């Protein structure tokens, strides 16, 4: 499995990426920096990846990381149901609720893990 490192001012956590086509596109685009948008029990942000719906899910468990094809956004779920179906990319390797600390507009970074 490939490890993705997610870094924000108040939290840093690893996630395991699956082997989906969308996860492969994300991996090739790393590193990525964007501006965080908290929404309920989710943090999402724009990323420079475009991908079609790829076995998109309308509900996901807490700790899921996903790609929202409609908005070309990376999503971190810690309780929120997706606004619309998302391509599941993998899962966090820690307490997803830590992402509740992320504030609007903070810089969030995705990079390849160790």
pTM over 0.85, yes/no: yes
Which DSSP state fits 31? S
Which residues, in sequence order, are CB contacts of 22 under 8 Å at separation 6+? 49, 51, 54, 67, 87, 89
Domain containing 80: what range? 2-112
Mean pLDDT of 16-42: 97
Closest CA to 32 of 14, 18, 49: 49
Q: Which of 69, 15, 77, 12 is CA-nearest to residue 46? A: 69
Q: What is the pLDDT of residues 33-85, one digit of tens each?
A: 999 999 999 999 999 999 999 999 999 999 999 999 999 999 999 998 999 99
Other beta carbons within 10 angstroms of residue 11's beta carbon come to 19
**What local confidence, expressed as pLDDT, does residue 114 receive?**
78
**CATH for 100:** 2.40.100.20
Which residue is listed with tokens 């070309």?
A: 72
Domains contained in the chain, number: 1
């Amino acid at each position: 499995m490939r490890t993705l490192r997610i870094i924000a001012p108040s939290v840093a956590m690893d996630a395991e990426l699956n082997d989906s086509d969308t996860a492969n596109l994300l991996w090739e685009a790393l590193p990525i920096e964007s501006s965080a948008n908290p929404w309920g029990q989710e943090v999402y942000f724009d990323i420079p990846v475009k991908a079609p719906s790829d076995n998109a899910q309308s509900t996901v468990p807490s700790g899921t990381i996903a790609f929202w094809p409609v908005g070309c956004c990376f999503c971190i779920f810690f309780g929120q149901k997706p606004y619309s179906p998302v391509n599941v990319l993998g899962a966090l390797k820690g307490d997803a609720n830590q992402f509740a600390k992320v504030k609007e507009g903070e810089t969030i970074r995705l990079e390849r893990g160790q």
